[in-house]
Structure 1
């Protein structure tokens, strides 16, 4: 993961109809461990790592870097939205900002991921106008594929990596 660029971080919390997006805090650590250890969350991400390993490796305040948003519902973390500019990526995605998201299984099916991603992308459009955004997901992850379409991503390429077929989408630059 590398720097987003010249953004003020952390931003003021972003409030949507049901959620708050904010920078990670120490109180989020148990939810991060749960998220990273969940076999369901990691079905299309190569599988979960052992919980004891995650407990040992997770810092007191996880994922503290610009573009790392906790999605909070009623005062509790339910997910993580990430905006980052990876140092390595597919050629079609190099230099572009990558959108990622992970939500706890209990938050699935309620539209929270879409709500949180739309809010994070709106923040990005204002913080760094004119940036294109990419999103990669396994083609087998139909929920993620639907979300990518809803967010305005269009297919750029399909490729095979990590023993699975992958999809790369692009969201063209937007101006505030």
Structure 2
């Protein structure tokens, strides 16, 4: 998996490594950042999450990318293709470290991840599961051209979460991608 690398103007997207752990642990310790992704986690829980994502890359060929700022080498967040067992579809999801928000990184990495999902993985449809009240993620989904398809049931341990299923097809992305370039 170490040969997987996607670059944008400002970012490197790659599968996670243990060197990402300190910043990932900071990210998982922030109540606001984790409000819509399962809440605050201890360093031990975060280590397991990191290992799960790294393992998903090895087992399935997909998982969240670690998003690295080119200019500093700083870990900014996790964004990318994700397809957990029982999930309602093939997802491109996103979450950023609190000091990386508001700088356009989420959209830049999400666009690259959508391209990767459709062009490299060959997916025909991409979803984003967005919990009710997560206005920032809904706005990003809209900027990407995804539409709200309505409520979706999630598997355990997330069955209690009220989430909307946003998404778009490969054909829709081909058109929506053009508007993001301009």
Which TM-score band applies after superposition, normalised by the shorter structure?
0.7 to 0.9
1:48 — aligned with what? 40
Q: With a CA cutoff of 8 Å and minimum separation of 6, indicate the structure with the bigger relative contact order.
A: 1
d(CA) in 1 for partners of 2:49, 2:36? 21
SS at match of 2:53: coil
| 1:58 Cα deviation after fit | 5.9
Unmatched segments (≥5 aa) in structure 1: 1-8
| 1:50 Cα deviation after fit | 3.0
1:137 — aligned with what? 130
String of CA shifts for 1:89-111, please: whole Å, max 9, x gaps.
Answer: 3xxx3xx3112211001011111
Mapping for residues 106-125 of structure 1, pairs under 5 Å: 106-125=99-118
Distance 1:162 1:55, change over 3 A: closer
1:76 — aligned with what? 74
Unmatched segments (≥5 aa) in structure 2: 175-182
Alignment partner of 2:53 out of 24, 46, 63 = 63
What is the Cα-based RMSD across aligned positions, in Å?
Answer: 2.6
Distance 1:159 1:23, change over 3 A: closer
Alignment partner of 1:158 out of 138, 143, 151 = 151
1:4 — aligned with what? none
Distance 1:133 1:33, change over 3 A: same
String of CA shifts for 1:121-157, please: whole Å, max 9, x gaps.
Answer: 1112221235201111123111100001111211111
Indicate yes or no: 2:22 matched with 1:30: yes
Q: Number of paired residues?
A: 161
SS at match of 2:103: coil
User: Could you tell me the TM-score, scaled by structure 1's length?
Assistant: 0.78
Indicate yes or no: 2:107 matched with 1:101: no
SS at match of 2:37: coil
d(CA) in 2 for partners of 1:87, 1:11? 25
